Amino acid sequence: MSDIMSRGFRTGTAAAKEAAKSKSFNRIDFFKLSDGETTYVRFLNDAWELITVDMHNMVPTKPKPEDWEGDNWPKVTSVVCRNTKMGDGLPLFGDCYVESSGMRNPRDESKPFPTASRTWAVGVIREPVFGDGSEKMGGEAQKGKRVGFRDSTKEVDEIKDGKPTGKKIKVKEFVLFTMGWQNFFGAVEGAAQAYGTILDRDFQIIRDGEGLKTDYKVVGLDPTRGFDLRDPAVAAKYGITIDLNTLDADGNPKKTYPEDIDISKLVMDKADADYFARFIDPTKSSTNGKPAVVKPVTDASVDQLAAMAARISNIPVRPPVVEPFPPDEAYESAYPAEAINFEE
Ligand SMILES: [Zn+2]
């Protein structure tokens, strides 16, 4: 669990201005993959940090408010259910408009709007690097073979003082996973139990099927030499601070994430009363002006949030520490046992 609560939330107009200036609010997209496609990812959260909440997906939005600039008003949006049952058995906020308004399932009017349990994690998309025959890439023997991975990047508009400067900048391709347990995170948990962590290697993800028949094959690849995100120096490349001398309530080193890749903050943004007021609940108006992708949670005090965060159900995965499997020498010499990380 991150420590957003102990840091508190920034409030007031000065903070809002500061937030608008902040460079990177457009950095994170939801993870998406088409049927039959393959991708590679490095998770930035270990298995014990994953957060599971109830969600309402594809909720129809209310009519476009007058103060909304532009034509890109979404037709549907996803929200975290404000009635999500927490570890203490009590609801998160207890006033979810999707339920209290009696919204119906668009596919079957006789049923209430669906609720789905989703597990959250952040990751960075990785792209394979192939040997070019050079010594650095494993020499002639590895020519044309996959020798490792590097972070995928994308071009975005540079934002300064809340406005695009007209310049494009290259940023790491972060993705937010809000996926099911049965067809996705169950396999991730399996890897965590086998390897003791999910931060020491890249994962290959293949999507198979569509709609309710979607399955994901999630496979942990060879560990990456010198590139383990439990190492504070490696985590720092993503702006993540790991304090090995301070343990959190679970006995793990204290980690602090930049706010745009902090899953507890991202979860709370999608459960925020102002988000519901802005996009879903026609009886309320947003009080925050045009919403940023990430903005302060407004309807609870820091203490209440601390209590809520403690109640968000972390997945009960405490991977056992495992001894590495003894290497088979013939196999080791035929294949490199570790992948290599390449800087962009
Ligand atoms: Zn709800």
d(CA 120, CA 89): 20
For ligand 1, a single-atom ion, the residues with CB < 5 A are: 81, 83, 96, 98-99
Residue 205's pLDDT band (boundaries 50, 70, 90)? very high
Label residue 322 by pLDDT band (50, 70, 90): very low
Among 295, 281, 308, 301, which Cα is nearest to 56's? 281
Pairing of β 339-342 and β 146-151: parallel
| pLDDT for residue 336 | 53
Q: Write phi, then psi, for 172 (nearest 5 degrees).
A: -65, 145
Instruction: Return the number of other C-beta atoms located less than 10 Å from residue 258's C-beta.
Output: 15
Distance 299 CA to ligand 1 centre (A): 17
DSSP state at residue 335: S
pLDDT score of 139: 86
Q: Return the pLDDT at 202.
A: 96
Q: How is residue 257 written in tokens?
A: 């994430």
Whether 57 contacts 280, CB under 8 Å: no
Please tell me the distance between residue 240's alpha carbon and the centre of ligand 1 in angstroms. 32
How far is ligand 1, taken at its centre, from the CA of residue 13, in Å?
30
Q: Is the dihedral of CA 159, 45, 230, 225 positive or negative?
A: negative
For residues 267 and 117, give the distance between their C-alpha atoms in angstroms, rounded to a whole number. 13
Indicate the pLDDT class of residue 292, thresholds 50, 70 and 90. very low
The confidence score (pLDDT) of residue 288 equals: 62
Mean pLDDT of 99-110: 94
Q: Mean pLDDT, to the nearest integer, of 27-32?
A: 85
pLDDT for res 176: 95
- pLDDT for the residue numbered 150: 94
Give me the mean pLDDT over the 222-246 stretch: 92
Please tell me the distance between residue 180's alpha carbon and the centre of ligand 1 in angstroms: 17
Residue 171 tokens, joined = 């940023």
Give the model's pLDDT for residue 49: 87
Q: What is the mean pLDDT of residues 310-329?
A: 45
Distance CA 191, CA 275 (A): 35
Residue 39 has pLDDT above 50, yes or no: yes
**Which tens digits make up the pLDDT trace of 46-83?**
988 888 899 999 999 999 888 777 778 889 999 999 99
- Average pLDDT in the chain: 80
Lowest mean pLDDT among 108-122, 182-196, 253-267, 305-319: 305-319
User: In angstroms, what is the span from residue 85 Cα to ligand 1's centroid?
Assistant: 10
CB 290 within 8 A of CB 64: no
262 Cα–ligand 1 center, Å: 22
Please give the Cα distance from 126 to 202 (Å, whole number): 8
Looking at residue 259, what is its pLDDT?
86
The arithmetic mean of pLDDT across residues 22-28, rounded, is 50
Question: Cβ(197)–Cβ(230) under 8 Å?
Answer: yes
Give the confidence band of 24 by pLDDT, cuts at 50, 70, 90.
Answer: very low
> Is the confidence at residue 313, as pLDDT, over 50?
no
State how far the Cα of 28 lies from the Cα of 31, in Å rounded to an integer: 9
Crossing angle for the helix pair 302-311 and 263-271, to the nearest 10 degrees: 110
pLDDT at 212: 80
* Ligand 1 center to 281 CA (angstroms): 12
Contacts of 289 (CB under 8 A, 6+ apart): 16, 67
Percent of the chain at pLDDT > 90 equals 44
306-320 average pLDDT score:
48
CA 262, CA 121: separation in Å to the nearest integer? 9
How does residue 324 score in pLDDT terms, banded at 50, 70 and 90?
very low
What is the per-residue pLDDT for 280?
Answer: 94
- Tokens standing for residue 41: 């990812």
Which burial class, exposed, middle or buried, applies to 325 when counting CB atoms under 10 A from its CB (0-12, 13-18, 19+)?
exposed
Distance 92 CA to ligand 1 centre (A): 10
Q: Between the CA of residue 300 and those of 58, 93, 279, 294, what are the distances in Å?
A: 26, 9, 19, 16
Domain positions in the chain: 4-342
Q: What pairing do the DSSP bridges indicate for beta strands 215-225 and 201-208?
A: antiparallel
- 160 or 282: which carries more pLDDT confidence? 282
pLDDT for res 239: 95
pLDDT band at 152 (very low <50, low <70, confident <90, very high): very high
> For residue 137, how far is its CA from the centre of ligand 1 (angstroms)?
51
Mean pLDDT value of segment 155-169: 85
275 CA from centroid of ligand 1 (Å): 13
The whole-angstrom separation of Cα 293 and Cα 284 is 19
CA–CA distance, 197 with 24 (Å, rounded to integer): 28
CB–CB of 249/215 below 8 Å? no
Among 113, 93, 109, residue whose Cα is nearest residue 101: 113
| pLDDT at residue number 303 | 54
Distance CA 208, CA 342 (A): 29
CA of 47 relative to ligand 1 center, distance in Å: 26
Beta bridge partners of 121: 177
Where b means 16+ CB within 10 Å and e means fewer, 270-306 reads bbbbbbbbbbbbeeeebebeebbebbbbebbeeeebb
